[in-house]
């Protein structure tokens, strides 16, 4: 049997060291490819689509390297795909960051700003970015939740949040002054707003589950 | 249930060794930053901050190596401060596995550096470290704090609150605020200053300097309005563990990751 492989798509936005080392930690004998190479990505068994920074810059690089096509191809091919943070946002139709940016439109929905003067229900000021450990409430069963308690905390850093149109895709929600979709999933795609590679044991468990996932949505 | 306040143990590292002493009961070699970081991670620390006080270039290479080792086994956010002067210093630390870098005197020397750094690497990884001391009040009698450099010895004339606002406008994603009046005193954070800065900026503020007991951590959040509290010695010498601190804060109504 050949060594299982995972491609971490590298389009120059942010360092992927942590993602790669977290995969190495949980992955056992695993071929980890941090790459922007089309063939390397397409031939991998599973794909991680990360992203940090501003969406305009991210989408600019994704398009320049034609990685939007590669990601769409892998999704269509049924490979397990884990999108993280801005990678999740990039899968949506449109983001209102940077004056409005069209995204890959793999999942119908929008990316919106938490807003200036963001407040909680009691009127207390909430900082933006939403930075730190917040609860993720599981809205539907999924193989990637295996061994992870409902309401577990994961590490977030973001100022924009995702709103999917199809509520059936909502797999996890979190609250920061308002409820937002912290996890979406559809078929072989699992998209998380938080950083599993920075979320301690819960995050490592999720990555481990991803590496064991065959891409079927039901547990 | 909501966003948790963070507890951040801080390690002062010189040439790859933790200094200022760390003395866990069951760690034989207490100076190894990798071992100490792992211990804090196991205790449930929400982040780890490294303050690199290495003076030499060769020593900086050691720091990069240390960060690499920690990042390969500790999967919580890691901030590295100290000696960040150029974009390439940031790149080296991020490539080594740091998630954020703390910038202090380089920002004072050249504020545009912060803009360039945030443009290049994103605000989420740019932490501005501010060392402040209370000085003579303003003409209208309101208290005033100034930025100091060189370990609190050199005044800059810059108002600490104005500076925090300016740095956020330049792209800082977080403020690490150390009271030089309180640092090392164990008398608690300067909550007056911390709350003023926390109200003045939209980004998270980490309170630092002066923690002597767990009530100080609580007050940093309740009175200082800090989003995170940083402490060194109370954890290093085993006076309190991170879980004890979290439990104590949670019992006083503070949202924590337990």
CB contact under 8 A, B94 and A198: no
pLDDT over 60 at B23, yes or no: no
Shortest CA distance from A121: residue in chain B: B2
Residue B220 sits at the chain A interface (C-beta within 8 Å): no
Site of tokens 């009175």 = B223
pLDDT over 90 at B135, yes or no: yes
Structure confidence by residue, pLDDT tens digits, A61-75: 999 999 999 999 999
Q: How many CB pairs under 8 A join A and B?
A: 99
Structure confidence by residue, pLDDT tens digits, B67-120: 999 998 899 999 999 889 999 999 889 888 899 999 999 999 999 999 999 988
Residue A56 sits at the chain B interface (C-beta within 8 Å): no
One CATH from 1.25.10.10, 3.40.50.12780, 3.20.20.70, 3.50.50.60 for B6-251: 3.20.20.70
CB contact under 8 A, B75 and A199: yes
A131 contacts in B (CB within 8 Å)? 124, 173-174, 203-204, 227
pLDDT over 70 at A158, yes or no: yes
pLDDT over 70 at A35, yes or no: yes
Looking only at the bridges linking them, the beta strands covering A179-186 and A170-175 are: antiparallel
In angstroms, rounded to a whole number, what is the distance separating the alpha carbons of residues A163 and B99?
27
Apex CA B122: angle with CA B116 and CA B123, to 5°? Answer: 90
CB contact under 8 A, B227 and A127: yes
Shortest CA distance from A177: residue in chain B: B2
Average pLDDT, chain A: 94
Q: What per-residue confidence (pLDDT) applies to B24?
A: 53
pLDDT over 60 at B21, yes or no: no
Average pLDDT over residues B156-184: 96
C-alpha distances in angstroms, A107 versus A48, A164, B179? Answer: 16, 7, 47
Residue A130 sits at the chain B interface (C-beta within 8 Å): yes
pLDDT over 80 at B27, yes or no: no
Residue A151 sits at the chain B interface (C-beta within 8 Å): yes
Average pLDDT over residues B16-35: 68
**Contact in structure between B183 and B152 (CB atoms under 8 Å):** yes
Smallest CA–CA distance, residue A26 to chain B, in Å, is 11
Residue B59 sits at the chain A interface (C-beta within 8 Å): no
Lowest mean pLDDT among B27-36, B99-108, B187-196: B27-36
pLDDT over 80 at A96, yes or no: yes
Q: What per-residue confidence (pLDDT) applies to B18?
A: 84
Average pLDDT over residues B49-61: 79
Which residue in A74, A103, A130, A197 is the catalytic one? A197
Looking only at the bridges linking them, the beta strands covering A107-113 and A160-164 are: antiparallel
Shortest CA distance from A137: residue in chain B: B1
What SS3 state is found at A4?
coil
pLDDT over 70 at B20, yes or no: no
Can A197 be counted among the known catalytic residues?
yes
C-alpha distances in angstroms, A49 versus A91, A159, A196, A202, B10? Answer: 9, 19, 12, 19, 32
In angstroms, rounded to a whole number, what is the distance separating the alpha carbons of residues B13 and B54?
7
Average pLDDT, chain B: 91
B1 contacts in A (CB within 8 Å)? 135, 151, 175
Instruction: State whether CATH 3.40.50.880 applies to domain A5-211.
Output: yes
Confidence grade of residue B152 (pLDDT, cut at 50, 70, 90): confident
Best residue in A128, A132, A155, A172 to probe B by mutation, most B CBs within 10 Å? Answer: A132
Q: How far apart, in Å, do the first and last CA atoms of chain A sit? A: 25
Which residue in B46, B131, B183, B190 is the catalytic one? B131
Q: Residues near A63 by Cβ (< 8 Å), separated by ≥ 6?
A: none
Of A17, A175, A198, the CB nearest to B76: A198
Of A15, A131, A175, the CB nearest to B2: A175
Residue A183 sits at the chain B interface (C-beta within 8 Å): no
In angstroms, rounded to a whole number, what is the distance separating the alpha carbons of residues B10 and B82?
12
Dihedral in degrees, nearest 10, Cα atoms B153, B157, B161, B165: -110
pLDDT over 60 at B22, yes or no: no
Confidence grade of residue A17 (pLDDT, cut at 50, 70, 90): confident
Q: Residues near A168 by Cβ (< 8 Å), separated by ≥ 6?
A: none
Of A15, A116, A198, the CB nearest to B75: A198
Q: Residues near A205 by Cβ (< 8 Å), separated by ≥ 6?
A: A146, A147, A148
Q: Residues near B21 by Cβ (< 8 Å), separated by ≥ 6?
A: B30, B236, B237
pLDDT over 70 at A219, yes or no: no
Q: How far apart, in Å, do the first and last CA atoms of chain B sit? A: 12
* Helix, strand, coil share (%) of chain B residues, nearest 5: 40, 25, 40
pTM for the predicted model, two decimal places: 0.94
Complex-level ipTM beyond the 0.95 threshold: no
In angstroms, rounded to a whole number, what is the distance separating the alpha carbons of residues B186 and B194?
16
Q: What per-residue confidence (pLDDT) applies to B151?
A: 75
B227 contacts in A (CB within 8 Å)? 127, 131-132
Confidence grade of residue A217 (pLDDT, cut at 50, 70, 90): confident
In angstroms, rounded to a whole number, what is the distance separating the alpha carbons of residues B180 and B255?
28
% pLDDT > 90, chain B: 70
**Helix segments in chain A, DSSP class H:** 17-27, 38-42, 55-64, 67-76, 86-91, 200-211
Q: What per-residue confidence (pLDDT) applies to B62?
A: 84
Residue A127 sits at the chain B interface (C-beta within 8 Å): yes
CA-closest candidate to residue A53, choices B120, B242, B163, B73 = B120
């Amino acid at each position: 049997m050949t060594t299982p492989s995972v491609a971490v798509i590298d389009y120059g936005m942010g360092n992927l060291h942590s993602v790669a080392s977290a995969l190495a930690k949980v992955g056992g004998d695993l071929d980890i490819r941090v790459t922007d190479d089309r063939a390397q990505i397409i031939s991998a068994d599973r794909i991680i689509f990360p992203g940090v920074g501003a969406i305009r810059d991210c989408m600019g690089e994704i398009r320049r390297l034609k990685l939007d096509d590669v990601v769409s191809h892998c999704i269509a091919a049924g490979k397990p795909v884990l999108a993280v943070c801005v990678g999740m946002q990039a899968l949506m139709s449109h983001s209102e960051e940077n004056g409005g940016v069209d995204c890959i439109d793999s999942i119908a929905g929008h990316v919106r700003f938490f807003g200036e003067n963001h407040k909680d229900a009691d009127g207390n000021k909430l900082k933006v970015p939403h930075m730190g450990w917040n609860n993720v409430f599981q809205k539907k069963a999924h193989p990637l939740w295996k061994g992870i308690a409902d309401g577990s905390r994961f590490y977030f850093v973001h100022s924009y949040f995702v709103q999917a149109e199809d509520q059936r895709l909502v797999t996890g929600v979190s609250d920061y002054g308002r409820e937002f979709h912290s996890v979406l999933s559809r078929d072989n795609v699992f998209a998380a707003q938080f950083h599993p590679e920075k979320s301690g044991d819960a995050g490592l468990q999720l990555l481990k589950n991803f590496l064991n996932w065959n891409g079927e949505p039901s547990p | 249930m909501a966003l948790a306040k963070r507890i951040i143990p801080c390690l002062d590292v010189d040439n790859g060794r933790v200094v200022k002493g760390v003395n866990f009961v069951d760690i034989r070699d207490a100076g190894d930053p990798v071992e100490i970081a792992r211990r804090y991670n196991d205790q449930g620390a929400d982040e780890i901050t490294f303050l690199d006080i290495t003076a030499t270039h060769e020593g900086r290479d050691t720091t990069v190596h240390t960060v690499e080792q920690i990042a390969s086994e500790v999967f919580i956010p890691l901030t590295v401060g100290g000696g960040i002067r150029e974009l390439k210093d940031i790149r080296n630390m991020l490539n080594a596995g740091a998630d954020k870098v703390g910038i202090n005197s380089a920002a004072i020397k050249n504020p545009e550096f912060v803009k360039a750094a945030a443009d290049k690497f994103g605000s989420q990884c740019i932490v501005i470290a501010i060392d402040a001391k209370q000085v003579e009040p303003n003409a209208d009698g309101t208290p005033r704090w100034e930025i100091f450099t060189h370990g609190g010895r050199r005044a800059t004339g810059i108002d600490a609150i104005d500076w925090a606002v300016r740095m956020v406008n330049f792209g800082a994603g977080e403020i690490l605020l150390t009271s030089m009046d309180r640092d090392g005193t164990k008398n608690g954070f300067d909550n007056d200053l911390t709350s003023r800065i926390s109200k003045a900026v939209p980004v998270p503020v980490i309170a630092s300097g002066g923690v002597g007991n767990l009530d100080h951590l609580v007050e940093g959040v309740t009175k200082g309005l800090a989003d995170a509290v940083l402490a060194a010695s109370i954890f290093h010498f085993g006076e309190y563990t991170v879980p004890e601190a979290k439990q104590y804060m949670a019992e006083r109504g503070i949202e924590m990751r337990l």
